[in-house]
Amino acid sequence: MAMKPKVRLWSALLMALGVSSVPTAGNGENPPVSIYDFTVNDIDGKPAPLSEFRGKVLLVVNVASRCGFTYQYEGLESIYREYKERGFVVLGFPSNDFLGQEPGTNKQIKEFCTLTYGVTFPMFGKIVVKGRDIHPLYRYLTAGGTNGEFAGHITWNFNKFLIGREGRTLARLGTREEPTTDTVIEAVKAALGS
């Protein structure tokens, strides 16, 4: 079934802006029902369907390189390495929405994360996580109609959404909830065990 002109125009506009996030479910007009319905650009600019992570437990985090919480990259990498064999993946989404704390290009961000923190978990292209130009993925994650009790604005860098194997949000964790705290670890282990 061909896309309708309005949907095709929206898709072309998103791609021109470097935002690849067209729902893949149904005919392109159905609202997304899980995180797997999105395609985003990876840190190298290549389209990456989040459906590739179907069946895994995900920790979706908006990250920044010049934030007082940037050190959390170390903890994120640590829990990723600890639990990845059990089906756990950290997904990093750089954002410059809080006091310009992620001003670099995707190439600079990738280099910083790799060289400074040895990041091996999947990183994606810089996106907007709040406001009028919010990326559709983060609109989905923060909207009451799609994410119920876990809805609400992103408050700062390193907000975290724990997504279960079925693509639904299981927990939302704030910036100050560090990746290696008992709260995060227990939530990850519970999600992996389910």
Catalytic annotation, residues: 67
Using DSSP, how many helices (H) and how many strands (E) does the chain show?
Answer: 6, 6
**Full DSSP string of 90-105:** EEEEE--TTTT---S-
Report the C-alpha gap between 68 and 86 in whole angstroms.
31
Cα separation of the two ends of the chain: 37
Note whether 94 and 127 are within 8 A (CB): yes
Contact 187/171 with Cβ under 8 angstroms? yes
Question: DSSP characters for 5-34?
Answer: HHHHHHHHHHHHTT------STTS-SPP-S
Phi, psi of 15 (to 5 degrees): -65, -40
Bridge partners of residue 160, in order along the sequence: 61, 173
